[in-house]
């Protein structure tokens, strides 16, 4: 039966693992997109989620017809998938939007890049075709993230009757970084995005970057656009850009809006109080032995700035030796994108730096840093519950849900050290301790301030942080986009 509401995202709610005896088991995927969308779609029983098979095990699941209700996994040729996901989405678009290039060496746009780009175009087309096939007349389609930036344009050509939205979970690059991309590629990206009726971003800053960067006739062929002068600091803000030519009717408008994704307090608290989390909490408490805790939870992701976080912790132990033996830094990282050499090297560097700190300061009964690189959501939730300080210091991050989750499940109040580079900073800055993510000394001082914060103040701030964090829970975030799309 054709669907009225469809979502397209590279990652589906589950991915499969194949054991030696040939049985398939399903696992929840990591990252903010999956947690937000899964929670939102739990309340949309008729929606269809189209995603890619990410691994051989996923492809095997598709071939065996194993599937979850409401999910269609696309079996895309592995070489095409690799070019699109590793070659373009994660090595070029992710790096561009997060400003991650090591500029004397990167980026390099050569023949290999062009081959990967062709793969990216076909991978996007596979999604556009599946959506065109599954969507009912006039259906609403919500396309997710930088993996699928071309889908709105491609889908509009196939199915002009549909209402199409695109949501970006990452930051949007500043104009200087967008202009690193070859002009024709930049033009295709903006063309793809402007195929949508509505573009959503987590934060005001990212919408502004999109508008400024796409407001360039040379690359995009946008003939008419207007950057409003009095842009409000927060809230929903409409901007209309008209895509002229390039396969669309003249003067079709695209709205740009912000939907800052939050967390669902009831769902998260229920997850955080399952017996398996209680067990992890007891184990962590035994390890920490009554000391204060600085908690961080990330993917093994370059933009999360885990290394500078460790450097700041080391500096704290030097400049404020009174904290030695009295604090433990719990750093959990979910393995992510380990197909890319630069991610493997980064993960190794995190482990090495943590080991150096333990070597330098550790004593017979105190290990200053406990690093865990594993996919253990229950352990992360346990760490959230017991955190005295949360360290969230990404160089750039679309939103960062960890900054919103910790205050919601914190048991005794938790001081939040938060980077200005996180989208969440727009909403949480009033009660967080703000840091420049590159400033290690300032981060060390912020950790000291957070550890020294009086208990009562911590509890008060945590309450207000939790209120801000739950202002737009996933179901409302999703429904707001659907409603705006119906009116588009
Ligand atoms: C970020 C992106 C998501 C992505 C997630 C995990 O949150 O915005 O689109 O799914 O990271 O990354 P992965 O490459 O493992 O899907």
Pocket of ligand 1 (CB under 6 A): 11, 30-33, 145, 169-170, 336-337
Atom 14 of ligand 1: nearest residue by CA position = 337
Compute, in angstroms, the gap from residue 88 CA to the centroid of ligand 1.
14
Instruction: Please check the confidence at residue 244 and state whether its pLDDT lies above 50.
Output: no
Atom 5 of ligand 1: nearest residue by CA position = 31
Instruction: Please check the confidence at residue 230 and state whether its pLDDT lies above 80.
Output: no
Q: Buried b vs exposed e over 377-400: b needs ≥16 C-beta within 10 Å?
A: bbbbbbbbbbbbbbbbbbbbbbbb
Looking at residue 29, its pLDDT comes to 76
ipTM of the prediction greater than 0.95, yes or no: yes
Compute, in angstroms, the gap from residue 336 CA to the centroid of ligand 1.
9
Three-state DSSP at 321 gives: helix
Q: Read off the pLDDT of residues 296-326 as tens digits, 9 standing for 90 and up.
A: 999 999 999 999 999 999 999 999 999 999 9
Atom 3 of ligand 1: nearest residue by CA position = 33
Atom 8 of ligand 1: nearest residue by CA position = 169
CA atoms within 13 A on the CB side of 198: 27
- The tokens describing 13, both together, are 């709610």
Atom 12 of ligand 1: nearest residue by CA position = 31
Q: Read off the pLDDT of residues 253-283 as tens digits, 9 standing for 90 and up.
A: 788 888 999 999 999 999 999 999 999 999 9
Overall average pLDDT of the 60-70 stretch: 92
CATH architecture, range 3-261+474-486 = 3-Layer(aba) Sandwich (3.40)
Instruction: Please check the confidence at residue 238 and state whether its pLDDT lies above 50.
Output: no
Overall average pLDDT of the 8-26 stretch: 94
Percent of the chain clearing pLDDT 90 (strictly above): 81
For the chain, the structural domain boundaries read 3-261+474-486, 265-469
Q: Which residue has the higher pLDDT, 329 or 239?
A: 329
Instruction: Please check the confidence at residue 248 and state whether its pLDDT lies above 80.
Output: no
Instruction: Please check the confidence at residue 242 and state whether its pLDDT lies above 70.
Output: no
CA angle 205, 206, 208 (to 5 degrees): 65
Looking at residue 234, its pLDDT comes to 35
Q: Cα(358)–Cα(356) distance, rounded to whole angstroms?
A: 5
Overall average pLDDT of the 33-57 stretch: 93
Q: Grade residue 235 by pLDDT with cuts at 50, 70 and 90.
A: very low
A 10 A CB-CB count for 268 gives 22
Q: Grade residue 252 by pLDDT with cuts at 50, 70 and 90.
A: low
Compute, in angstroms, the gap from residue 285 CA to the centroid of ligand 1.
31
Overall average pLDDT of the 27-37 stretch: 84
Q: Domain 265-469 adopts which CATH fold?
A: Rossmann fold (3.40.50)
Ligand 1 nearest-atom number relative to CA 169:
8
Fold identical between 3-261+474-486 and 265-469? yes
Ligand 1 nearest-atom number relative to CA 89:
14
């Amino acid at each position: 039966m054709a669907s009225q509401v469809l979502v397209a995202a590279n990652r589906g709610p589950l991915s499969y693992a194949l054991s030696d005896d040939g049985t398939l088991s399903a696992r929840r995927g990591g990252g903010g997109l999956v947690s937000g969308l899964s929670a939102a779609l739990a309340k949309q029983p008729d929606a269809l989620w189209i995603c890619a098979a990410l691994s051989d095990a996923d492809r095997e699941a598709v071939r065996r017809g194993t599937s979850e209700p409401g999910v269609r996994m696309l079996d895309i040729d592995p070489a095409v998938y690799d070019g699109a996901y590793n070659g373009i989405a994660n090595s070029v678009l992710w790096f561009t939007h997060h400003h991650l290039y090591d500029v004397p060496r990167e980026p390099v746009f050569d023949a290999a890049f062009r081959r990967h780009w062709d793969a990216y175009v076909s991978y996007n087309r596979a999604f556009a075709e599946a959506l065109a096939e599954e969507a009912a007349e006039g259906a609403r389609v919500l396309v997710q993230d930088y993996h699928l930036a071309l889908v709105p344009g491609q889908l509009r050509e196939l199915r002009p009757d549909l209402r199409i939205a695109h949501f970006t979970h990452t930051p949007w690059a500043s104009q200087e970084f967008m202009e690193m991309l070859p002009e024709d590629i930049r033009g295709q990206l903006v063309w793809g995005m402007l195929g949508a009726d509505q573009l959503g971003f987590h934060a005001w800053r990212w919408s502004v970057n999109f508008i400024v960067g796409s407001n360039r006739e040379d690359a995009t062929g946008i003939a008419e656009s207007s950057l409003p002068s009095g842009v409000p600091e927060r809230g929903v803000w409409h901007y209309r850009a008209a895509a002229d030519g390039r396969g669309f009717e003249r003067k079709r408008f695209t709205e740009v809006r912000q939907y800052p994704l939050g967390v669902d307090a009831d769902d998260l608290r229920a997850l955080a109080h399952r017996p398996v989390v209680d067990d992890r909490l007891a184990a962590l408490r035994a390890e920490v032995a009554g000391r204060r805790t600085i908690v961080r939870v990330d993917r093994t992701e370059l933009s999360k700035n885990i290394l500078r976080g460790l450097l700041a912790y080391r500096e704290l132990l030097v400049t404020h030796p009174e904290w030695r033996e009295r604090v433990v830094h719990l750093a959990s990282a979910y393995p992510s994108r380990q197909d890319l050499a630069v991610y493997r090297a980064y993960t190794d560097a995190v482990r090495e730096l943590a080991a150096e700190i333990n070597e330098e300061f550790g004593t017979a009964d105190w290990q200053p840093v406990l690093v865990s690189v594993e996919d253990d959501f229950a352990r992360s939730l346990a760490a959230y519950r017991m955190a005295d300080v949360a360290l969230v210091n990404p160089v750039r991050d679309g939103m960062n849900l960890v900054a919103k989750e910790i205050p919601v499940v914190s048991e005794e109040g938790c001081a939040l050290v938060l980077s200005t580079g996180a989208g969440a900073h727009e909403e949480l800055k009033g009660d967080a301790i703000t840091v420049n993510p590159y400033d290690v000394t300032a981060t060390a001082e912020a950790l000291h301030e957070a550890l020294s914060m009086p208990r009562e103040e911590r509890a008060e701030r945590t309450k207000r942080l939790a209120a801000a964090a739950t202002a737009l829970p996933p179901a409302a975030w999703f429904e707001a986009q659907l409603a705006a799309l119906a009116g588009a």
